Amino acid sequence: MQLHGSYTSPYVRHCRIALQQSGLQHELVDTDYQQSMTQSPTAKVPFLRDGELLLTDSSSILRHVRERAGQSFCADIRDFDLYLLASTALDSAVNLFLLERDGITPATSDYLKRQQQRIEQCLQHMNQSLHHVAELQQPYTDGVLRVGCLLSWALFRERLSIAGHANLQQLLQQLDAYPLFAATHPSIGPGG
């Protein structure tokens, strides 16, 4: 299997963790915006090639990898909602980040203010629903891993603060001590 993506993408990071956990043979093909534009209909990373199969979104990739390894993907409905909530916040945060590079910010757009508010509301909700964070254990669920990938990326890119969210802080601290999560931090490139 070939996972195409960048070392900084939080969506790619989640897939890399799942692939490592699966024990399946795979390689990460470093892929930039130019290459994703011509190689995937979404013009986004990650995408995965497994023989004839092309998967164009981290969610289908995660499900495929989990199922091939005999594991499940978000089987618990609450965990699935946590996964989706974190993904929604991540989509908004990445969108704001990329638009800012083009000089477009919430200061000049009501819709982008709404995107910002969405992220904060999602953080609050996730913080409340993770009241049992001290009991979480390995293997972490995909909902929990998604929250970790969101927080870690957003802090790395200085997109948000989790100072007021004690459960989110504790979750990230726990995940940072998990070797596969630590080894895929966005600051770590191809050289390790």
Residues that bind ligand GSH (CB under 6 A): 9, 11, 36, 43-46, 57-59, 94, 98
Q: Which residues contact 53 (CB under 8 A, 6 or more apart)?
A: 64
In the complex with ligand GSH, which residue's Cβ is closer, 101 or 132? 101
Q: Which is nearer to ligand GSH, 57 or 120 (CB)?
A: 57
Q: How far is the CB of 39 from ligand GSH (least distance, A)?
A: 11
Going by the DSSP 8-state scheme, the letter that residue 53 receives in this structure is: E
Q: In a 3-state reduction of DSSP, which class is residue 70?
A: coil
Minimal distance in Å, beta carbon 186 to ligand GSH? 10
CA angle 38, 43, 49 (to 5 degrees): 75
Q: Which residues of 8-27 are buried (b: 16+ CB within 10 A; e: fewer)?
A: bbbbbbbbbbbbebbeeebe
Q: Are the beta carbons of 27 and 60 closer than 8 angstroms?
A: no
Task: Tell me the closest approach of the beta carbon of residue 129 to ligand GSH, in angstroms.
Answer: 21
Which C-beta is closer to ligand GSH: that of 11 or that of 140?
Answer: 11
Residue 9 or 152: the one with the smaller Cβ distance to ligand GSH is: 9
Distance in Å, CB of 61 to ligand GSH, minimum: 7
Closest separation between CB of residue 11 and ligand GSH, Å? 4
Q: Which is nearer to ligand GSH, 43 or 155 (CB)?
A: 43
CA distance 155 to 54: 31
Which tokens sit at 44? 């986004």
**Of the candidates 127, 130, 131, the residue with the CA atom closest to the CA atom of residue 119:** 127
